[in-house]
Every structure is written in structure tokens, then in C-alpha cells.
């Protein structure tokens, strides 16, 4: 007779381990916010730097740690193309991890607490018919709270396929902009032209304003 641990209990164990590790490593979590320390550390790893960079993205996102600095560092270390690729992969898998933790640990409580709210029912109806489009739209804006959105999506009825695909495609523009910011920032520190840096900042501003402009255009129509 095989002993099986219920999936929900297993996820609680995983969440407990993550919390335990976060407490034990609280003095080292600040490394995710320190560009110089991250760059120096990853540069010393050689070929392992890519694997650790992606793994760092996954762990940070699952723990709710903002990964913007990691994306910028990716541009400094790997350049615009590969920095964007590795960041998108790491952030997507991290978002999926946070999604599953939220769905299987908090969704039952959330449904009991808010199931009678019309707004939740209406939002889930949208998810049932336009899940991919909704996820893609929310992910497209780089100013949206990435880590908060990960957990909130886990509390809705969105399916994993739509969530993963919408996340992967939706974060590409913002990740590209932040990676470019890392590349141009490094070039500026080396005494090169500041114009690419200003262009990268302009792209971030433009991406942040696009959802607002689209909403205004829809209202006028």
C-alpha cells in the first residue's frame, strides 16, 4: 500500500519551506536589489551564471521579491537579446510557481469569503471566455504590480495554459525595455552616449502609457 500525501498538504509543506528559507536568508535577500553585488556574483560563476540567473528569477518571483533589478542586471551581463530571453523565461516560470501556490493554498478561502461579490463573478465570467486576452493585456503594462498579479490570478478561474501563454508574451515588451535599460546604463557608465539610455527610458514610459491611451480611445469610440 502506497502512502500518498494530498497535493494541497504538499503545497503547504512547500510554502512552509519557502517561508523558512526566506527567514533564514533574510539578510541575503537584499542581493536582489543590489546591481553591483549581483553583477559581481554572477560574473564569478562562468557558465553557471545563466542557470543561476534564471533560478534566481524563479525563486524571487515565487517569494514575491520584485525582480526588476534582476532584469536590469540581465542586460548588463548578457546583452539585450539573451538578457531578455533569460529574464522572460525565469519570470514566466516564477509567475507559474506563484500562481500554483496561490491557487491551491488560498483559493478555497478566497471563494468562501468573496463568492457572493458580483465583481468576482463578473471577472471570472470574463476569464472563462477571454482569459488569454485578459492576462495578456494586464501583463503588457510594465507598471502593473507583477508579483501581486501572479497571486491574484491564482485566485481566479483562469486556466494555466492561458495564464502561462499570456504571461510569457505579455511581459516581453516590458522585459525588453528594462533589459535595454541595463545595457544602455552600463554603456553610459563607461562614458558612451546617453542617447540610448534616454531612448530606453522613453520606451518604458510609452509602454506604461499605452493601456491608459487605449482606454481613453475606447471611451471616445
Residue 42 lies in a domain: yes
Residue 2 lies in a domain: no
pLDDT at 164: 95
Closest Cα to residue 179, out of 95, 93, 96, 91?
A: 91
- Determine the structural domain holding residue 204 and report its residue range: 7-220
Q: Give the C-alpha separation, 82 to 74, whole Å.
A: 8
Helix (H, G, I), strand (E, B) or coil at 1: coil
Ramachandran class of 64: left when φ > 0, alpha when ψ lies in -120 to 50, beta otherwise: left
Residue 124 lies in a domain: yes
Residue 69 lies in a domain: yes
Residue 170: count other Cβ atoms within 10 Å of its Cβ. 21
Q: Are the C-beta atoms of residues 163 and 131 closer than 8 Å to each other?
A: yes
All cell numbers assigned to 130:
477571454
* Domain count of the fold of the chain: 1
Q: What is the mean pLDDT of each run of 10 residues along the chain (221 residues)?
A: 48 54 49 58 74 86 80 86 94 92 75 64 76 86 77 85 94 90 78 79 76 57 51
Q: Give the C-alpha separation, 58 to 85, whole Å.
A: 14
pLDDT at 118: 67
pLDDT at 81: 93
Closest Cα to residue 184, out of 54, 80, 30?
A: 80
Burial of 171 (0-12, 13-18, 19+ CB in 10 A): buried
Q: Identify the H or E element spanning 184.
A: helix 172-189
Residue 196 lies in a domain: yes
Cα dist. 50→33, 126, 183 in Å?
18, 38, 17
pLDDT at 6: 52
Residue 22 lies in a domain: yes
Closest Cα to residue 178, out of 158, 156, 195, 203?
A: 203
Residue 45 lies in a domain: yes
Residue 186 lies in a domain: yes
Amino acid at each position: 500500500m502506497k502512502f500518498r500525501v494530498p497535493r494541497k498538504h504538499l503545497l503547504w509543506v512547500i510554502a512552509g519551506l519557502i517561508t523558512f528559507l526566506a527567514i533564514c536568508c533574510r539578510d541575503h535577500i537584499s542581493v536582489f536589489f543590489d546591481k553591483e553585488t549581483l553583477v559581481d556574483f554572477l560574473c564569478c560563476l562562468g557558465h553557471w551564471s545563466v542557470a543561476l540567473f534564471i533560478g534566481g528569477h524563479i525563486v524571487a518571483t515565487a517569494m514575491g521579491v520584485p525582480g526588476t533589478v534582476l532584469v536590469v542586471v540581465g542586460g548588463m551581463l548578457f546583452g539585450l537579446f539573451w538578457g531578455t530571453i533569460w529574464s522572460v523565461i525565469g519570470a514566466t516560470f516564477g509567475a507559474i510557481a506563484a500562481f500554483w501556490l496561490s491557487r491551491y493554498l488560498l483559493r478555497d478561502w478566497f471563494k468562501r469569503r468573496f463568492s457572493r461579490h458580483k465583481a468576482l463573478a463578473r471577472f471570472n465570467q470574463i476569464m472563462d471566455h477571454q482569459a488569454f486576452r485578459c492576462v495578456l493585456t494586464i501583463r503588457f503594462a510594465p507598471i502593473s504590480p507583477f508579483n501581486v498579479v501572479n497571486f491574484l490570478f491564482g485566485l481566479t478561474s483562469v486556466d494555466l495554459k492561458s495564464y502561462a501563454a499570456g504571461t510569457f508574451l505579455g511581459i516581453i515588451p516590458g522585459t525588453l525595455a528594462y533589459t535595454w535599460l541595463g545595457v544602455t546604463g552600463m554603456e553610459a557608465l563607461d562614458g558612451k552616449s546617453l542617447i540610448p539610455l534616454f531612448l530606453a527610458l522613453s520606451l518604458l514610459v510609452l509602454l506604461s502609457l499605452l493601456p491608459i491611451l487605449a482606454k481613453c480611445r475606447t471611451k471616445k469610440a
